[in-house]
Structure 1
Amino acid sequence: MSEEIRAEMVANVWKVVAKAGDQVSEGDTLVILESMKMEIPVIAESDGILGELAVNEGDVVQEGDLIATIE
């Protein structure tokens, strides 16, 4: 069963830290978003393999947009 990680706010994707296929642990930073000059890390909420990474640096995400899945 895969876990979906979704954006909690409108933001720019400032930096992509992980890539699809990476082994991730709970608490690892996957992506760093930027909103109103603040950096907001998007973290893995469980251990697993990063399945899909649905964003690229420079993208704009809306609240609820898919960022990544963890298998």
Structure 2
Amino acid sequence: MMKNVTASMAGTVINVLVQAGDQVNQGQDVVVLESMKMEVPIQAEADGKVVEVKVNVGDFVNDGDVILVLE
């Protein structure tokens, strides 16, 4: 079953910590956003394997945007 990891707030992607094929654990930081001059880590909401990373460094995301897909 595929699971989407979504942005919890609007911001700019400043670091992508995983790539397709990586195994991640629930609570692991996967992407770091910058919002209002604060760095905000986005964490995996479940254990799984990264199928697709949908963002790159420099991308702007809105609250609720899918940033990666886990299986």
TM-score between both structures, scaled by the size of structure 1: 0.93
Consecutive unaligned residues of structure 1, counting only runs of 5 or more, are none
Aligned ranges 1:20-59 → 2 under 5 Å: 20-59=20-59
Aligned length: 71
RMSD: 0.9
Q: Give TM-score, length-normalised by structure 2.
A: 0.93
Q: Which amino acid aligns with 2:4?
A: E
State, as a whole percentage, how many aligned pairs show the same letter: 48
Cα deviation digits, residues 11-70 of structure 1 (max 9, x gap): 000101110110111111110000011111111111110111100000000122110111
Q: Which runs of 5+ in 2 are unaligned?
A: none
Runs of 4+ in 1 over 6 A off after TM superposition: none
Match of 2:61 in 1: 61
Find the aligned partners of 1:11 and 1:60 in 2 and give their Cα distance.
6
